[in-house]
Structures are given as C-alpha cells and as structure tokens.
A and B are shown apart, each in its own frame.
Chain A
Amino acid sequence: MKEQNSHTNAKRYGMVIDLDKCTGCGACMVACYSENNVPFKTDETNKLDSINWIRVYKLTNNKPYPDTEICYLPMPCMQCDGIGKHGHSPCVSVCPAVATDYDYDTGIVSQIYTRCFGCRYCMAACPYHARKFNWWDPKWPADTEKYLSPNVSPRMRGVVEKCSFCFHRYQLAREKAYLEKRQKLEEQEYQTACTQACPVGAITFGDLNNKDHAVYKLKNDPRAFRLLERLQTNPKVYYLTSKNWVRRAGDNYLAHEEPGNITKVKEHH
C-alpha cells in the first residue's frame, strides 16, 4: 500500500472522569450492562462474582460526623499501556492463550472469549479488579434474551470478561467511515456507552494523542491523576478531583508524601 494509512498515526483512546461531578447514580453501569449484554443473577451482592465492566465505588474520607465527605469513583478497565507505553499491560503479559491483547492502533486491551480458557492469570495480574470471571452460564430468563445486542457476543461459563471501551462501537464507526471513504473518525463518532450515558457529563472520552480531542487537554489538568500510578501500569483512564483525600485514595503514598508533589512517572516514547 503506497498511500499513507492510519497505522502511522496510532490512536490512544482514553477516558477522563470528573469525580467532582459524578453523583454516583449508576447510569453508566446500567447503560454498560445493556450495551454489552452483561448478565444478571438473582443475587448480585457478592461483588467478587458480580460481573460489572464498570463499577462505581463509594469512597469516604473516614472523618467523623459532620466532617464526613463521600466521593464516587467509577472504574472501567484502565486499558493500561504498561511500562514505557509499549503495550505490556499487566494482563496481556500473563495470558497464556493470547485471549487478551493490546491493540497498537487504538491502545485498547481486547478480550476474546472463545480463546480464553479460564485460567484467570489475568485477573490475578490486574491491579484494578477490572476483570470478572463467568462462574456460571449466564441466564436470560423470561424472554430477556430478546433484547440482547447483536454487536457483542454473549459469554459462556468459564471465560473472563472485561470492559472493551465499547470496541464494537469503534468498529461500527470505522465501517461507516470506510464506506464514506474517510480515514479519520470524528471525536463524537466513537464514544463509549458509559460516556454517552452519564447524565451529568462527568465522563469524557477520546484519543489522548489527538490535540483536537477534549481528553488531550483534560489529562494535563492539575486536578488529574490516575489510579495506582506508581505501579507504572500507565492507565488510559484519568480522574479529576479537587480533593486531596480522593487523590490520596487513588495511589500509594507514604505518610509524609503529598500527592501533588510527587514527580509524575515519566511518559516517554
């Protein structure tokens, strides 16, 4: 191929979640269940076996009444770039079946259910608990099977699943662009279901490499931080908060360390 293709211009899709805005309503979770054919059981209160691609955690500052504060923290898959952003995500490096892989075109970490044989090494390796295992065959009672989306494969017992940044939406947007003979995707053409669903607009999604996308700027906001940044997993999900205690809850700090003053892990390439 002589003509320049998009491979020379790799994208790194990422997300910025404004924790100052999130009200903890849970719309992102429900929109995700519906978009991605996530199953449901009669008892979902054991969160270790409850399958969520994005889960909203409730944090508190642990101060006694009335100085208590709470903050909600939605956690999808962090789509780690790994040390040096070379795609050595914790999960990808350990999968013996190449069932999870790092896509260099988009930076998205995939999960291929039919390749996965359920060893769950990836779950052990993931420091964010983003991966969930299907201990049982999903059940779709009383015709609920009829609302399943054809764009996402329903899973079976014995495989691991996780957030895909709604990769099928990327594929559909790419197909549309291809038919219209376009190389470039507009920012709004590819958005994840949770981003679109957030009723207060706390989630922003786009290409972290693209200067025209909102996330490009937002990730450098002084309020921005990432979870367990010092592990150098290089997540592509950023959080914004104006509260120091929230930031402190997001990483490991020694008692004398102030989150703002820590030298950021260098992002080199």
Chain B
Amino acid sequence: MKIDRRSFLSYTTAVVLGGAAGSMLTPAPWKLMDDISIWTQNWPWTPVPQDGAITYKHSVCTLCPGGCGIDVRLAGGRPIKIEGDKDHPVNKGSLCPRGFSALQYLYGPARVTTPLKREGKRGEGKWQKITWDEALTAVSGKLAELRSNGRPDTVACISGSDQGTIPNLIGRFMTAYGSPNFLCTATAKDAMEQAIYLTQGRQGSPVFDIENADFILSFGAGILEGWGGTGRMLNLYGAGKSAKTLVQIEPRLSDTAARANQWISITPGTETALALGLAHVMVKESLYDRQFIENFAFGFNDWTDDNGTAHKGFATAINDYPPAKVARITGIKEAEIPKLARKFAKAAAPIAVSGRGQGLLPGSIDESLAVLLLNAIAGNINKKGGVSVLSDFDYAKWPEIKIDETASKGMQQPRIDGAGSDDFPNTRYLLNRLPETLVAASGDAPIQALLVTGANPLYTMPDTAAAKKAFDRIPFIASFSPFMDETASYADYILPDHTPLERLQEVPAAVGISRQVISLAKPVVKPVYETHHVGDTFIQIARNLGGFVKSAFPWKDYETFLKATLKDHWRTLNKKGWVEISHDLPEPLNYVFNTASGKFEFYPTARVSGQKTIPPLPAFTPVPIEGDPQRFDLVLMPFDSIRLAGGDVANAPFMTKTVDANVLLHQTSVVEINPATARKLGLKDGDSVKLTTPRGEATVQLYFYDGIMPGLIAMPRGLGHTAYSDYLANKGTNVNQLIGAIADPDSGLNTAWGIRATITRI
C-alpha cells in the first residue's frame, strides 16, 4: 500500500481521534488523575496528632518574673496549648506572647537533653554525653578541690534571680560552701530599691500600685511592653481600671507611647532634670502634699545639723531647675513643663514610675531618687495608688547554717564585684563589674569556678565580646541551663535543669504588685529528657561535698525542702495554686521610716557614707555616654519589644515569627532612624549600612521611622543570638555587644542607656 500525504493524514487523524475517543471511554485517565492527586497529598510524614481526652492543669508561667497564672490544655495527657488563667490574681487571664509560646520551651531544638562535657575548645560546640553521676562528680570534685585548697571564695555563682526558694537554696549553698560571690543580674528594681532604702530606710521590693492609680507619669517605663509584669499590666490596661491618663516620656514612639494619652519626647538621659523641674513647679505653686511634708519629711526645707552646719533642703535645691532651664536640657517645650506638673499634682491618684522599657537596665540612682521624690511631694508614699515597700517574703526561713572555718574565712573575703564594699555600700550585686575585675587581676584568676543558673550573662552583659574574653580566664564553668544558650555553649559542663513546665517551684509575685501573691508552678508533664531539677542538683552536690555543707541541707530533695519551707501555705498552694497575703498599708498617721531621722528623707543622709562625696540631694548631671561626639555623630539606643525576649530567657520560634520585617530582615537587624537624620547623611530607607560604636560594629539595614528623635538610632534587645538553634541563632545583631557598661558613681550599677555611634553606607 502506498502511503501518500493524503492517506497519511487521514490515518493519523483517525488514530488520534479514535484514540482520544477511546481513552475517554476507559476510566484510565480519570483514575490516574485521581491517584495522582491522592498521591501528591499522601505524605506519610505529615503528622496526625494523637487524640485524647481534653483536660486542663493550672500552673504559673516562670519565663519571666511576672508570675502569671496559666491553664495548660492537655489532650490525653499531652500538653497542647497554653492559656491565661482567668482566676489568677496577678494576670486575671491575660498573657504575653512569650507565655503563649511556652510549649516551644518544653519541646524544641534548643534544649539540652542530657548532661554534657565539653570536647574541643570552649564554644566550639563539640560535646560528649555523660551520665548524671559523672557530671555531679566532676562539679563536686572541682568544688571540693578548691575548698581543700582553702579558697572557697574563688567559686562564683551567677543567678538570674534572687527571689524565691530556688535562688535562696543556691544562695544557702554558697554560704555553706564559703563563697560570698553569689551574683545576680541587676535590673531597674535594684536602683528603685536603693532609692527607697535611701529615703525610707527599708529593704524590700518596690510596689507601684498601678491598680489604684488614675494618672501614670512614666519616665520611659514600658508600661504596656513588659514593665511590672506583662500579664498584670496588660490586664489592667485592658480592663480600663487604671491609667485613665498615661503620659509617656521617652525619645522614641514606643508601643506604650503610642497608646498613651500623651507622648512627650525627651532628650535621652535627661529624665532626672524633668523630674526635678516638675517638682520645682509643684513646690513653687504649692501643689505638694503639705500634710505629708509637715509630718513625715526630713530635709524638705533647709536644715541645720547637730554641729550647727546649715544644709540646703530639697525645696531650695530644686530652685536650680526652673522650667526654662529644664526645657533647654530636656528639649521639651517650656510651656509644657508647668502644665504637666499641674496635671500630675491635681490628679486624684497620680503615680510616677521609672525604669526604661522592661526595666532590664538598672539606671542611675539620681534618676530613681528624683522620680521617687516626685511621688513623695505628691504625698504618694505608702498610700493606695502610690509607692510603698513590700518586705521580703517571710516564708523563706530555714534552720541557721553552721559553717566550718574554711567557709567562714571564705565568706569574709570581699566580693569579686565590689557590691556592698565601701565604694558601693547599698548595692547587692554588680555583675557588670565582673569582667573588668577578672581581666585586671594579676596571677591566678580570682574566680576559679563559675556556676551559672537561670542566667545567660554571655548574651545579656554589656560588651559581650569583652565579657567572653574575661570568662576565658575562668578555668571551670558549669552551666545548669535547660537550653543551649550562649553561656551554656561556652561552659565546660552542662547539668541541664528542667524547663518551666516540668519544674516544681513556688513563684513570688510580679515586681511592683501591691500584695504578696505566691503561686505554685506545678509540673504539667514528667521530664521529657534526662534533666534534673536544679534544686536537686545543688542538694546532691552539697551531699557529695560532705561535712558542714552537707548538713546545711537536711532535706531529701527540693520538693521536701519546698514543703518544709512553705509549711501551712503548702496545702493551699497545692490545692488552689496561689496564696494571697494582703499588703497592709499603715494608717496615714502611723508611717514609720527606719532612717536616721525617723522620717522620709528628702535629704537622704544614708547617701553620705565612707569616703564618698556624692551630694545627697538628687541633682541632674547628664548620664554620661560613651564615645567621642566628633567621631560618632549619632546615638544608638536599645529598646525592649514585647515580641522579643531580651533577657536571660530567649525567644521561642513562635515569637520570632511575629517579628516584623522592619525589625529583622533575614539575617540582618533593622535599625530605626528618623528620615530627616538619614537624609542629612545622604541615606535612603532600606540602605545597608555599617553601624560602628566604640565597642563594636555590625552590618544593619535602615528603616525610616518618623517616631524617633532626630539624631538617635534604635534597635531592639533580643536579637543576634549565637547559640540555641537555627530558629534563633545568627539573626540580626545583639545590641549588648555594641554597648559597654557605665557604672553609676553612687551604686556602681550600669547606667548605659545608649552609646554614640556612626553609620556608613556599604
């Protein structure tokens, strides 16, 4: 058969059409398509979460000191969701993003799952898994060796907190062992405590009764961003119970400033001048509480001491701060200052609060004192809606420690950080001074072994690079962190603690809350990995050391210790979850102050001690800032964001996920700059720049933000981790590494709110 073009085309057409028609009649293509669609979605690794009966367990969040009540939802005993506990007296159901992410601290790639021993160089990330016995023997052995050499004081412990039974148990261990070097991360609370001690002669936690205040004058405190316990503060704001008026004073339009009734931008570091300026107006216009001043104040007016020396009183001293001068210093309009003073003085229940952002930075004593005195002239001390002191919790009482001679000698050694010395008599912890002391010491390092619990100093300390170098001098570092944080990854041994949802502990209430609330954090699951409660670990180490150290811990384990500590409260705590002890304020006529004068001291005589020549009355001296203004034309200021954890506990992946692209872009931190400033420098929005400070440099990207004072640049704390997991490491810049510490002359606490900086386009 001859195949010509015509027949070829006809046959082909017939075959194609016939085939097509035929295949339409068979189910093959339809079946195939169906199979393909099923196959494309049939991925065996897509998990099917196991079902189970839904139950709830109440507990307390311990991811920050806030002490918020949580409800944990479980499916067949498996925790699947965290919610706020509506009945809890602290937060009444409100919770922050970190609280909601708590399950990602229980499970997650950043966890240390067994005890580890370092292999290779420090920080190299090479570890050998060891047993608990080996780990405990290693740490106990090192501690026993130092003790037998008669140098127990060369052991230091850095703790994230000094509140509650766990830090107290560790503190007790240090005393029995013989080292005065129990160090704690200092916060704004430390500066406030000192201001209260100086004026009232009382030790304890500062209370800001926001619950009953109607006018909040905030000197940069992130009222809605984590200051004073996030759950508590957000709940109060939402319920409309407090803050009918909120005036926010800070140089950057923060989330708190955005929700405030008034945002007053101020040249950073000049807050003290404003507080004194407001006091000036209140005194001039007789807007102060006469009854309080006449009955309970010392040093408000000029006075003469027993030797006949005349002293200026507070009322005279603040004559140096008339509105015109304060306006010049602070950059606030002159007319605004008397207006603000009158509004504050005339409010029914005004309160002034200090502590920048979340209060992670201690700040200057002058500033805390000036703000406290502003409260005092408003008659706002020991009053409902005012500032008072909550004595340390009295439940933490244990049999007195008997210590041996070695321990007694060790305890008599001066503290490594200089806290409590003649230079800084009223300060308890000065962790920020540790690196310089370590580096400056000649011969053997003054610290031979370092124990780190609940803290991550190699991330949170100012000038982290320098801190790391200083830590190199310490021959032995043991971390008790449940997570592979920066400090743990630089340790020699890790003895992992449980995570919050696995750990039993009692939680004293949020900072600033006006009543004693103690809650019980009960484990909601059995420990997921091979971890030990840090309390048990220390009891075990004490036992291994034997002698007096062992006998200081007569308890079987932490749980027995906790039950013995809480006594009558244990039952209530176990059943109800918390106990509330009311904070009775004294009757207005029965105020007692433990100062030298027996009064509230506007002229804090306790400030004159030893060799120091600090004028007792608060005065404005610009808080110094590092860097040569000629070389560094801008000022870098860190800020706290509620979506980023900048302290000892780092972000969970969920929190990082909420962070906007104008804060973090891939691996790069984004820095806020006022468009006017940037244009002057010839820079555009989104430009990549090199940010240089006297302490370090980083590549960052610019974000034009109108809400920041010209001349300033800002970036949040909480980024730039180098450890943990891929979900957190190498994201942006750790702002701490760009800023060094500046010691307050009075307290030694860190006051560095910023640093001079410069940016150049890459």
Contact = CB atoms under 8 A, between A and B. Distances in A.
Interface of A: 21, 23-27, 29-31, 33-35, 37, 40, 42-47, 50, 52, 56, 58, 60, 62-66, 68-72, 113-114, 117, 137-138, 140-150, 154-159, 196-202
Given A40-B727, A144-B107, A199 B95 contact: yes
Contact of A30 (B253, B654, B708): B654
A58 B81 CA distance: 27
B237 A60 contact: no
B666 to A, nearest CB: 5
B83 A158 contact: no
A64 B41 CA distance: 51
B84 A199 contact: yes
Interface stretch (B46-54, B125-133, B185-193): B46-54
Nearest to A140: B47
B466 interface: no
A29 to B, nearest CB: 5
Contacts of A138: 46
Given A60-B707, A65-B710, A200 B727 contact: no
Interface in B16-67: 37, 40-41, 43, 45-52
Nearest to A40: B653
B662 A58 contact: yes
B404 interface: no
A150 B94 contact: no
Interface in B82-105: 82-84, 91, 94-97, 99-101, 103-104
Given A65-B707, A200-B238, A137 B97 contact: no
Interface stretch (B257-265, B530-538, B568-576, B746-754): B257-265
B732 to A, nearest CB: 10
Best-buried of A23, A25, A56, A200 by chain B (most CB within 10 Å): A25
Nearest to A97: B37
Given A42-B726, A71-B258, A200 B47 contact: no
A156 B43 CA distance: 7
Contacts of B230: 25, 199
Contact of A60 (B49, B656, B706, B727): B706
Given A43-B666, A64-B675, A142-B108, 14 more contacts: A24-B258, A25-B643, A30-B97, A30-B655, A40-B654, A65-B707, A142-B107, A143-B528, A147-B79, A148-B49, A149-B75, A155-B46, A159-B41, A197-B95
Contacts of A50: 657
A71 B707 CA distance: 12
B258 A40 contact: no
Contacts of A199: 84, 91, 94-96, 230-231, 234-235, 238
Contact of A154 (B46, B259, B706, B708): B46
Closest 7 CB pairs of A and B: A200-B238, A199-B94, A199-B234, A148-B49, A68-B706, A26-B658, A142-B109
B82 A34 contact: yes
Contacts of B52: 150
Nearest to A142: B109
B676 interface: yes
A142 B654 CA distance: 15
A42 B78 CA distance: 25
B708 A65 contact: yes
Contacts of B256: 23
Contacts of A150: 49-52, 75, 80
Contacts of B710: 65
Nearest to A155: B46
Nearest to A43: B666
Nearest to B662: A58
Contacts of A23: 224-225, 234, 237, 255-256, 258-259, 642
B660 interface: yes
B142 to A, nearest CB: 31
Contacts, number: 196
A24 B710 CA distance: 24
Q: Is the interface of A mostly helix, strand, loop or mixed?
A: loop
A159 B80 CA distance: 24
A132 to B, nearest CB: 12
B441 interface: no
A156 B41 contact: yes
B45 to A, nearest CB: 7
Contacts of B263: 66
A63 B675 CA distance: 11
A145 B47 contact: yes
Contacts of A63: 706
A197 B83 contact: yes
A137 B79 contact: no
B101 A34 contact: yes
A197 B73 CA distance: 14
A113 B424 CA distance: 64
Contacts of B657: 29, 33, 40, 44, 50, 52
B72 to A, nearest CB: 10
A45 B80 contact: no
Contacts of B9: none
B709 A65 contact: yes
Given A70-B253, A197-B84, A44 B107 contact: no
A29 B253 contact: no
Contacts of A47: 660-661
Contacts of A25: 96-97, 224-225, 230, 234, 255, 642-643
Nearest to A145: B47
B638 to A, nearest CB: 19
Interface string B604-627: 000000000000000000000000
A34 B81 contact: yes
A32 B393 CA distance: 37
A72 B96 CA distance: 16
A142 B46 contact: no
Contacts of A31: 83, 100
B717 interface: no
18 contacts: A23-B258, A24-B642, A25-B255, A27-B96, A29-B658, A45-B664, A45-B666, A56-B658, A113-B41, A138-B46, A147-B80, A149-B81, A150-B49, A154-B46, A154-B48, A197-B100, A199-B91, A200-B94
B100 A148 contact: no
Nearest to A34: B81
B745 to A, nearest CB: 32
A147 B80 CA distance: 5
A113 B708 CA distance: 44
A100 B659 CA distance: 29
Contact of B95 (A27, A52, A113, A154): A27
A26 B111 CA distance: 24
Contacts of B581: none
Given A25-B643, A42-B727, A30 B100 contact: yes
Nearest to A69: B258
B297 to A, nearest CB: 36
B113 to A, nearest CB: 9
Contact of A200 (B101, B106, B237, B528): B237
